[in-house]
């Protein structure tokens, strides 16, 4: 089961900061779906996953909304 974090309408750096904070509460093996409209989120959230050790399962744009599926590893 995946929770959804709605960050639509927020601008950099809030989407990546709130994603990082929300991932702390996600149990290992569970996923978080993040929705954002800030174009910088694609770069920033991808980089967050790489540096924090989260697994980025998918990242795509759907009608102006960037949708990320992120799995907590630890």
* CB within 8 Å of 42: residues ≥ 6 apart: 59, 61, 66
Q: Specify if 74 maps to a domain.
A: no
Whole-angstrom distance, CA of residue 41 vs CA of residue 74: 23
pLDDT reported for residue 1: 52
State the residue range of the domain holding 63: 2-69
* CB within 8 Å of 30: residues ≥ 6 apart: 1, 2, 3, 71, 72
At 4, phi and psi to the nearest 5?
-115, 130
Number of independent structural domains in the chain:
1
Task: State the pTM of this model.
Answer: 0.94
List average pLDDT for each run of 10 residues in the chain, which is 74 residues long.
90 97 96 97 97 97 97 92
Coil, strand or helix: which one is 28? coil
Q: Specify if 32 maps to a domain.
A: yes
Percentage of the chain modeled with pLDDT above 70? 97
pLDDT one-digit tens code per residue, 45-54: 999 999 999 9
pLDDT reported for residue 74: 79
Q: Specify if 9 maps to a domain.
A: yes
The catalytic site residues sit at: 12
26: domain CATH number is 3.30.110.40
């Amino acid at each position: 089961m995946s929770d959804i974090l709605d960050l639509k309408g927020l601008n950099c750096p809030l989407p990546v900061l709130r994603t990082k904070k929300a991932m702390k509460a996600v149990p290992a093996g569970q996923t978080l779906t993040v929705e954002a409209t800030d174009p910088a989120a694609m770069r920033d959230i991808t980089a967050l996953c790489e540096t924090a050790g989260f697994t980025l399962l998918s990242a795509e744009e759907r009608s102006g909304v960037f949708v990320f599926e992120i799995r907590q590893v630890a």
